[in-house]
Amino acid sequence: EAQVTQNPRYLITVTGKKLTVTCSQNMNHEYMSWYRQDPGLGLRQIYYSMNVEVTDKGDVPEGYKVSRKEKRNFPLILESPSPNQTSLYFCASKVMTYNSPLHFGNGTRLTVT
């Protein structure tokens, strides 16, 4: 089954404790992206990648890192999480054509205390 898999689904952590949210897709998509969803703000892009070893900042990259060492994986790293990073995070992927849709994972709900 074609899918984007994120782990974990739920994560509670404390300020400053480094964490990684994993994302993997099995559709051989070139493009991958991370979004955060907050009430009243919709989805905002954190980082994206157009291919292996090619990553770039989205609209809200502060406090996050990513890497793209393999085509299928695109982990999101929070080196020193803060409470304002409490949010619902989505990984997504697509092929690199203008009208192709994004395929989303089921989300990771992160709480930083």
Which of residues 45 and 67 has its CB atom nearest to another protein in the complex?
45
Distance between CA atoms of residues 48 and 51, nearest Å: 9
Q: Which residues bind another protein (CB under 8 A)?
A: 4, 31, 33, 35, 40-45, 48, 50, 58, 90, 92, 94, 96-102, 104-107
Residue 45: CB minimum distance to another protein, A: 6
Residue 39: CB minimum distance to another protein, A: 9
Residue carrying the six token digits 């157009």: 50
Q: What is the dihedral of CA 93, 94, 96, 97, to 10 degrees?
A: -150
Token code pair at residue 73: 């994986």
Residue 4: CB minimum distance to another protein, A: 7
